[in-house]
Amino acid sequence: MSAKSLLLSLFCTLGFAASSHAADLQPLLVANQKSTIKVLLEVSGELKNVPYDIQFSEFPAAAPLGEALNAGAVDIGALGDAPYVFALGAGAPIKVVSIVHAEGRYTTAILAPKDSPLNNASDLKGKRIVTTRGSIGHFLAIKALRSAGLSTQDVQFIYLLPSESRILLDNGSADAWSTWDPYTTISTTQNQAKVLVSGEKLLTNHLYFAATSQAIANKRQQLDDFIARVDRAYRWTNAHPEEYAAAQARVTGLPLDVHIAVAKGTHMQPVQIDDQVIGGLQTTADIYQQEGILNKHIDVSQGFDKSFNAKRAPLNQASR
């Protein structure tokens, strides 16, 4: 056999081995809240040439998503500060493998009707605040009250889902609504709601991608690749907000201008898992325990895997 033929045979063998290895990779089960992650990856082109199957499961909110992670029904999903603390508190065998920071004026906010006499957190004393229990909106309300020298005993909380919460704010059954985007943008653009408190400085505004211990042990390659795709996808949305907004609008049914406002007003950036990040989440857990929302101390440091900080390359990078 000539040297040329030998090299050709070797390349074919290696190519077959690589494709067989990719085919052997188990599917990655991704928890998807209202199609957010799926749309993100689709519109950015990151669902092309994936050497394993990504199977998305839909969840209406963070709480049932956390329950699915706890049950091992999915491999990975994204949760905000508060929902992740609750998942850890429930004993979920999960660890954060990636973090994305959302920077934007109305990523989280406490809103009041446009003609409300309320203007800031201090004005909330004795008022009714509607929010979703255990959500990032709930935590923002607690932090805002504390920043004004108030406590949760100084207000009346009404716990509802976002769709119901907006109705209460609009009809006067609640004085304020503590929530997050896109609901903040919908209310400020469509109803001219006023922002009493922005969560920009009070909260970490991190999105935690948490994977089950079983997935970390058995699907490390898929997780590394998936996280790399998500990182690139978010960077893509920063540069293409209108395309991203249009893709979201087709799925959510919300007005295009709402999604454009959110996309243009929010910058997404991956951040490292470090002691500062872990300490920030520990503060969240401690405050919930102090408020009696959690009945035990939670050491959140057990819920992070720093090994995923290593630079990740997609499995098919050579073909991209």
**171-226 residue pLDDT tens:** 999 999 999 888 988 898 888 999 999 988 888 889 999 999 999 999 999 999 99
**Residue 314 pLDDT exceeds 50:** no
CATH of domain 108-198: 3.40.190.10
Q: How does residue 272 score in pLDDT terms, banded at 50, 70 and 90?
A: very high
What pLDDT was estimated at residue 311? 60
CATH 3.40.190.10 residue ranges for the chain: 3-103+205-319, 108-198
Q: Give the mean pLDDT of the chain.
A: 87
What pLDDT was estimated at residue 111? 97
Q: How does residue 74 score in pLDDT terms, banded at 50, 70 and 90?
A: very high
**Residue 21 pLDDT exceeds 80:** no
What pLDDT was estimated at residue 230? 95
pTM: 0.82
**Residue 163 pLDDT exceeds 50:** yes
CATH of the domain spanning 3-103+205-319, picked from 3.40.190.10, 3.40.50.300, 3.40.50.1240, 3.30.465.10: 3.40.190.10
Over residues 49-62, the mean pLDDT reads 92
Q: What is the largest CA-CA distance in the chain?
A: 88
What pLDDT was estimated at residue 313? 46
